[in-house]
């Protein structure tokens, strides 16, 4: 099978690697220099012009723009919803309206286009306050704060259109939920649904959850949860979502990524993403290896199979560029990588997935984006995977490297 992976980050590198492990011939569009160095073909051609048996679309933007619809119209098998399903991620106000209609547990909220009624709603809530831009904002459109004045100022800033343009002219305000966050990625063909191992993403840039929100600084999976919790989420969140999608005539084949808050009164859905998570995917592919390919094919065909068995544990540590997330610097030379973009001195179980790197004329890699590399490690236990991931991360150096030191630290003993 010839598989196409659309996107240019570490997530797409990981998906391509997993498909290759499953015996597929893989082409990544456009990919990056690190993917190509790993022996995976990349092209900058138009994905619609390329022949393939299976296409997996990584990022949300092409899904929202209807790429899955256009590929399906050409007879391709695709993992990823059409533009109608992708609205679950494209518009937070749509998503919230959908969740309420479906009866999915989610934070109380209101949607506002004018500052006056937004202020009024805010003052009816208790801290923490949550203010979200309606449209896509690359993970940067959400403020969570204990401070009512800061929340009010943020509403005004967002509604002014200065911060996020059109994407910000509507805001969603929510009550803040408290608990542990969990990413549950579920593959669905619209009828059946299969959960992958629960993962925990570390969203803030600094240790202990300090500093600004990022795209994700690291992740581990499986997340140790109370027994039965995944089944509970499948019943209270995923099943009603599938019913509501069908009721609205939305055919959905792809990933439903449930961003959950595990509150004392049960799991609540913070948001849906309509794609694989980044960096969740970089850890998950190591748990399933070749098993993932078959699952993706079944999903795209509408004949989703059963979940492959997750083996062991995986920990991913993201290495980001100097100045991330506000103003990442490009052009810092990376040392510790070989010509294939993997560790020059291999660490057992470690795979390096490239996000923002490029090759210099002398063959060395340099930084070329906010998140630069995802160092992923697989082992029998979280503790061992963590030790391997950090050994790999320390072996890679570049000026201004930003990395968290506490990925999976608190769960080391759990498994
Ligand atoms: P979202 O893009 O909606 O997932 O929001 C990004 C991050 O903001 C989430 O991962 C949470 O850490 C936080 N967040 C979003 N909504 C809430 C909420 N209702 N209560 C507490 N934290 C939230
Ligand atoms: N890890 C967060 C995301 O993919 O949106």
pLDDT, tens only, 228-266? 999 999 999 999 999 999 999 999 999 999 999 999 999
For residue 317, what pLDDT band results from cuts at 50, 70 and 90?
very high
Q: 143: which 2 tokens?
A: 């403020």
Q: What is the model's pLDDT at position 155?
A: 87
CA of 146 to the centre of ligand 1 (A): 14
Residues in contact with ligand 1 by the CB-under-6-Å rule are 107, 130, 132, 142, 144, 174, 176-177, 181, 203, 259, 270-271
Q: 281: which 2 tokens?
A: 């995917």
> Which atom of ligand 1 is the closest one to the Cα of 132?
3
Q: What are phi and psi of 261, to 5 degrees?
A: -110, 120
Residues in contact with ligand 2 by the CB-under-6-Å rule are 139, 201, 216, 273, 277-278, 280
Q: Which of 221, 330, 325, 347 is nearest to 281 (CA)?
A: 221
Tell me if 6 sits within 8 A of 57, measured CB to CB: yes
Q: What is the model's pLDDT at position 169?
A: 75
Q: What is the model's pLDDT at position 372?
A: 98
For residue 172, what pLDDT band results from cuts at 50, 70 and 90?
confident
Tell me if 272 sits within 8 A of 102, measured CB to CB: no
For residue 302, what pLDDT band results from cuts at 50, 70 and 90?
very high
Mean pLDDT of 377-398: 98
Q: 22: which 2 tokens?
A: 């499953």
Which of 115-124, 359-368, 387-396 comes out lowest in average pLDDT? 115-124
For residue 164, what pLDDT band results from cuts at 50, 70 and 90?
low
Q: What is the model's pLDDT at position 365?
A: 98
Q: What percent of the chain has pLDDT over 90?
A: 82
Q: Taking all residues of the chain, what is their mean pLDDT, rounded to a whole number?
A: 94
Higher pLDDT, residue 125 or 256: 256
Checking if the pLDDT of 166 tops 80, the result is no
Query: If you ran DSSP here, which 8-state letter would residue 335 be given?
Result: B
Q: What is the model's pLDDT at position 301?
A: 96
E strands, 292-348, are 313-320, 333-334
For residue 167, what pLDDT band results from cuts at 50, 70 and 90?
low
CA of 143 to the centre of ligand 1 (A): 8
Q: What is the model's pLDDT at position 117?
A: 87
CA of 316 to the centre of ligand 1 (A): 21
E strands, 264-381, are 266-273, 313-320, 333-334, 350-354, 357-359, 365-367, 371-379
Checking if the pLDDT of 368 tops 80, the result is yes
Q: List residues bridging with 268 in a β-sheet.
A: 261
Q: What is the model's pLDDT at position 113?
A: 87
E strands, 8-102, are 25-30, 41-42, 54-57, 77-79
Q: Which of 1, 14, 3 is nearest to 318 (CA)?
A: 14
Helix (H) or strand (E) holding 86: helix 83-90
Angle at which helices 148-159 and 115-123 cross, to 10°:
160
Count of alpha carbons within 13 Å of 324, Cβ hemisphere only? 29
Q: Give ∠ CA 149-211-222 in degrees, rounded to 5.
A: 120
Which of 11-25, 168-182, 192-206, 304-318 comes out lowest in average pLDDT? 168-182
Higher pLDDT, residue 384 or 159: 384
Mean pLDDT of 180-200: 97
For residue 158, what pLDDT band results from cuts at 50, 70 and 90?
confident
Q: Which of 216, 325, 353 should be mutated for ligand 2, with most atoms under 8 A from CB?
A: 216
Query: If you ran DSSP here, which 8-state letter would residue 19 be given?
Result: H
CB-based burial, 159-169: b 16+ in 10 Å, e otherwise: beeeebeebbe
Q: What is the model's pLDDT at position 388?
A: 98
Nearest CA to ligand 2 atom 5: 277
């Amino acid at each position: 099978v010839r598989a196409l992976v659309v996107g240019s980050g570490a997530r797409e590198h990981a998906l391509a690697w997993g498909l290759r492990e499953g015996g597929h011939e893989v082409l990544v569009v456009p990919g990056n220099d690190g993917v190509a160095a790993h022996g995976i073909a990349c092209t900058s051609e138009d994905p619609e012009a390329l022949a393939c048996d299976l296409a997996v679309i990584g990022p949300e933007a092409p899904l929202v723009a209807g790429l899955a619809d256009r590929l399906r119209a050409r007879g391709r098998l695709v993992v990823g919803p059409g533009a109608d399903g992708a609205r679950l991620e494209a518009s937070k106000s749509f998503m919230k309206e959908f969740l309420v209609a479906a009866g999915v547990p989610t934070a109380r909220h209101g949607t506002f286009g004018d500052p006056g009624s937004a202020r009024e709603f805010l003052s009816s809530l208790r801290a923490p306050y949550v203010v979200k831009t309606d449209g896509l904002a690359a993970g940067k459109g959400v403020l969570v704060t204990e401070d009512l004045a800061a929340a009010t100022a943020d509403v005004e800033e967002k509604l002014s259109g200065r911060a996020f343009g059109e994407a910000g002219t509507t805001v969603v305000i929510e009550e803040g939920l408290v608990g542990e966050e969990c990413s549950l990625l579920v593959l669905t063909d619209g009828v059946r649904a299969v959960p992958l191992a629960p993962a925990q993403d570390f969203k803030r840039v600094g240790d202990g959850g300090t500093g600004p929100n990022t795209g994700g600084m690291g992740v581990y999976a499986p997340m140790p949860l109370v027994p039965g919790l995944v089944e509970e989420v499948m019943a209270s969140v995923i099943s009603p979502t599938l019913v509501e999608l069908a009721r609205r005539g939305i055919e959905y084949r792809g990933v439903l990524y449930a961003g959950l808050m595990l509150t004392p009164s049960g799991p609540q859905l913070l948001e849906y993403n309509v794609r694989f998570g980044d960096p969740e995917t970089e850890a998950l592919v190591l748990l399933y290896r070749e098993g993932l390919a078959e699952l993706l094919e079944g999903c795209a065909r509408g004949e989703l199979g059963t979940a492959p068995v997750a083996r062991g544990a995986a920990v991913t540590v993201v290495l980001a560029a100097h100045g991330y997330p506000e103003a990442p610097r490009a052009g810092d030379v990376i040392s510790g990588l070989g010509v294939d973009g993997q560790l020059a001195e291999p660490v057992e179980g470690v795979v390096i997935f490239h996000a923002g790197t490029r090759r210099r004329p002398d063959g060395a890699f340099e930084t070329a984006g906010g998140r630069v590399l995802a160092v992923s490690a697989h082992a029998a236990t979280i503790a061992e995977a963590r030790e391997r991931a950090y050994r790999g991360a320390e072996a890679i150096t570049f000026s201004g490297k930003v990395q968290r030191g506490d990925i999976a630290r608190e769960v080391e003993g759990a498994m």
